[in-house]
A = this chain, B = another copy of it.
Amino acid sequence: MASIETPVVILNLKTYPQATGEKAVLLAQTCERVSNKYDVEIIVAPQIPDIYRVAKAVEIPVFSQHMDPGEPGRFTGHVLGETLVEAGCAGTLLNHSEKRMLLADIESSVEKANKLNLHTVVCTNNPAVSVAAASVHPTAVAVEPPELIGSGISVSQAKPEVISGTVDMIRAVNKDVIILCGAGIGTGDDVASAIKLGAQGVLLASAVAKSNKPEDVLVDLITPIAK
């Protein structure tokens, strides 16, 4: 699979009405424009029914928000890797805080995705879980430190060790996994702080997807990592 360039920005469109259907396509095209203009890797993760239309419309990587384990055949309503590949996906989020997965399913989904050349980003909520996720060899781990969720504290305001401590623990077991900061990112300063503390990118959602001026917000966010 094409390797992911770092630093990277992954934009989760969640189920925001501003990012559904044709609006998901428009947001993905905004991401593509900014990605090309500033030479920064930007990945977009639309809702599963929107993947095909988004993947048809842009050339930046499109990720699924979730993937189920399992082989083609007798499953109804499941989201299999083979089908994601055919729909134009380049990867998938796994174990998002709004879609937690069984440990056994995370591992088998990562293994399956690796076979299919799909990238995987496993979301995690604390250092111990991050290390566990890193040990099943996904492409990336997106760390959402509880100190930064719902607290209104951004990465640039938080104690450095909230990020750097987790980075050190993950690196002890996995030299290669991409480490993303998955919470507390609202501005370019936050992106700069996250990178400085050892992250190689960010996973974000509302700051861009719910903005009235998503392109302006995105440009501000990627400025510290533009080449």
Residues in A lying within 8 Å of B, measured CB to CB? 12, 14-17, 20-22, 47-53, 64-66, 70, 72-80, 82-84, 86-87, 89, 93, 95-107, 111, 124-126, 128-129, 131-133, 135-137, 173, 205
Is B102's CB under 8 angstroms from A101's CB?
yes
A122: nearest residue on chain B (CB-CB)? B103
Q: List 7 A-B contacts (CB under 8 A).
A: A14-B74, A20-B82, A100-B104, A101-B102, A101-B103, A103-B132, A104-B129
A20: nearest residue on chain B (CB-CB)? B83
Is B96's CB under 8 angstroms from A76's CB?
yes
Is B76's CB under 8 angstroms from A66's CB?
yes
Is B15's CB under 8 angstroms from A78's CB?
yes
Query: Which residues of chain B are near A20, meaning CB under 8 Å?
Result: 72, 82-83, 86
Is B14's CB under 8 angstroms from A87's CB?
no
Nearest-neighbour CB distance to chain B for A55, whole angstroms, equals 9
Is A128's CB under 8 angstroms from B101's CB?
no
Cβ contact of A103, chosen from B16, B77, B103, B205, cutoff 8 A? B103
Cβ contact of A75, chosen from B14, B73, B137, cutoff 8 A? B14
